Structure 1
Amino acid sequence: IIDHDILTIINKNTFGKNTVVYGNLPYNIATKILSSLILLKKWPPWYEILILMFQKEVAERILAKEKTRKFNRLAVLANWRFEIKKHFDISNNCFLPKPKVVSTVLSFTPKKDNQFVLKNPKNLEKITRILFSNRRKMINKNFNKLFKAKKLIAKKLKINLSKRPEELSFEMYYKIATEYEKLFK
């Protein structure tokens, strides 16, 4: 058991195999912690599994299905590298002092053989940040922020630029990131 601030040890690979990371994350930085664990350059990572508790609304964002209104960048990032499982909700009555929110426990098992390997995981983070920045608008303008020859790239990837970010699939985001890396080495 290591009782330490996870943000200071995430990038250190000094742990042995079979490391399990578990915890009740501070809700104000839970997505930052998860993003840091997703975006590690070395993959598979130093941990075997993550078992983490989130505010229920955040857990629902992580578990959001593609092509739904709830689909979001955190779901794209998390599903790129993890098999995610919801275990259970925890009532706010189980805590003292009683919080205003319900919690959810999720486990994240790193994917060993990922079909979409990126040289720099932060490229996927950048793409999702840009494309989801105006989530209710078409991706056309934001796609322009990524690619100068947006029509050529869109045609190559068979993307309809009049779609909204939540209308794209997980796979399409990974293909966009792969294409981005080819152009900007």
Structure 2
Amino acid sequence: MFIKPKKSLGQNFLIDRTVLEQIIDTVEITNKEVLEIGPGSGNLTAYILKKKPKKIYVIEKDNDLVLLLKDKFTSEIDIINEDVLKVPEDEISDEKLIVFGNLPYNISTEILSKWIINLNKNFWFESLVLMFQKEVAERIIAESNTSKYGRLSILSVWKMNIKKIIDIKPHSFSPRPKIDSTLLLFTPRVNFFELKDPKNLEMITRVFFNQRRKMLKKPFNQIFRDAKKIAEKFNIDLNLRPQNLTPEIYFKLVKEYESLNC
């Protein structure tokens, strides 16, 4: 059964055996429950099964691919035929999941942001092994004082430890994308800044990074009534720019904003 990849769903099927093996060797999955996002034609799914997990769930939106997966794997996998953005991920299993995902490039940051924002102290996963467009991965792992550092970097490290695994070239996929990809490993942070509402982190970083080349004075004045006093409290030079502040400083600023306004 041949399925033509749909451009509208950002489908690029991973076909490189070496890369598939590298992905599957990133974490231990034997006798653990696994969730695969966007299994496509099931190439990675087959490698997952070889490692003998306790159970495999897959989320696949494409009805044609669901039929292919049912035909290929019969009762070996539990298929959730739904848009991943609409799935309540913490209700999939009572056990912590190992998650693999060759995420559609057009919604990859939306998926990651949704998962992080919805997280509480009881993480629903043990680890995330996710593939992104290389440029997006660089933004996720960027550190302060670099050009790629921004809102996505800060949100990602809020609750996650992140490690780059490999870069993946276009020839590893069918059809070939025009860009390189990068595989990242995410694991939960034991301790993270507790905020009353994650949307405040989104709001504050948006205000700062919408004007990333401007000095900090302007966004500070937009957010705080007494900007100078807040800056002094956290020893921040208002002549610096948004990329000069570490994620920890942003978390503290959000906490300060919440104490003053919520």
TM (normalized to structure 2)?
A: 0.67
Q: Tell me the equivalent position of 1:23.
A: 101
Structure 1 unmatched ranges of 5 or more: none
Structure 2 unmatched ranges of 5 or more: 1-56, 60-81
Deviation at 1:146, TM superposition (A): 1.0
Equivalent AA in structure 2 for residue 162 of structure 1: N
Q: Distance in 2 between matches of 1:10 and 1:167?
A: 36
Q: Tell me the equivalent position of 1:5.
A: 83
Q: How many residues align?
A: 184
Q: Tell me the equivalent position of 2:198.
A: 121
Q: Distance in 2 between matches of 1:15 and 1:146?
A: 40
Deviation at 1:182, TM superposition (A): 0.5
Q: Secondary structure at the match of 1:123?
A: helix
Equivalent AA in structure 2 for residue 135 of structure 1: R
Equivalent AA in structure 1 for residue 58 of structure 2: I
Bigger-Rg structure (1/2): 2
Q: Distance in 1 between matches of 2:89 and 2:125?
A: 11
Q: Tell me the equivalent position of 1:176.
A: 253
Structure 2 residue 165 is the aligned partner of structure 1 residue 165: no
Which of residues 122, 131, 147 is equivalent to 1:53? Answer: 131
Q: Tell me the equivalent position of 2:213.
A: 136
Which runs of structure 1 show a deviation greater than 3 angstroms over 4 or more consecutive aligned residues? 10-14
Deviation at 1:112, TM superposition (A): 2.2
Structure 2 residue 120 is the aligned partner of structure 1 residue 64: no
Residue identity (%): 47
1:100–1:19 CA distance, 2 compared to 1 (3 A)? same
**Could you report, residue by residue, the CA deviation over 1:15-57 in whole angstroms, capped at 9, with x for unpaired residues?**
2222122211111111111111111152332122111100001
Asked whether the equivalents of residues 89 and 124 of structure 2 are also in contact (C-alpha less than 8 Å), the reply is: no
Equivalent AA in structure 2 for residue 95 of structure 1: F
Q: Secondary structure at the match of 1:182?
A: helix
Asked whether the equivalents of residues 44 and 111 of structure 1 are also in contact (C-alpha less than 8 Å), the reply is: no
Q: Distance in 2 between matches of 1:12 and 1:174?
A: 25
**Could you report, residue by residue, the CA deviation over 1:88-139 in whole angstroms, capped at 9, with x for unpaired residues?**
111101111111011111111111222x211211211111111111111112
Equivalent AA in structure 2 for residue 166 of structure 1: Q
Q: Tell me the equivalent position of 2:225.
A: 148
Q: Distance in 2 between matches of 1:44 and 1:160?
A: 37
Q: Distance in 2 between matches of 1:112 and 1:87?
A: 21
Q: Tell me the equivalent position of 1:34.
A: 112
Question: Map of 1:79-118 to 2, 5 A cutoff?
Answer: 79-114=157-192, 116-118=193-195
Deviation at 1:10, TM superposition (A): 4.0
1:41–1:181 CA distance, 2 compared to 1 (3 A)? farther
1:56–1:10 CA distance, 2 compared to 1 (3 A)? farther
Higher relative contact order (CA 8 A, sep 6+): 1
Asked whether the equivalents of residues 17 and 48 of structure 1 are also in contact (C-alpha less than 8 Å), the reply is: no
**CA RMSD in angstroms, aligned pairs only:** 1.5
Q: Distance in 2 between matches of 1:46 and 1:36?
A: 13
Asked whether the equivalents of residues 62 and 75 of structure 1 are also in contact (C-alpha less than 8 Å), the reply is: yes
Q: Distance in 1 between matches of 2:172 and 2:211?
A: 37
Q: Tell me the equivalent position of 2:154.
A: 76
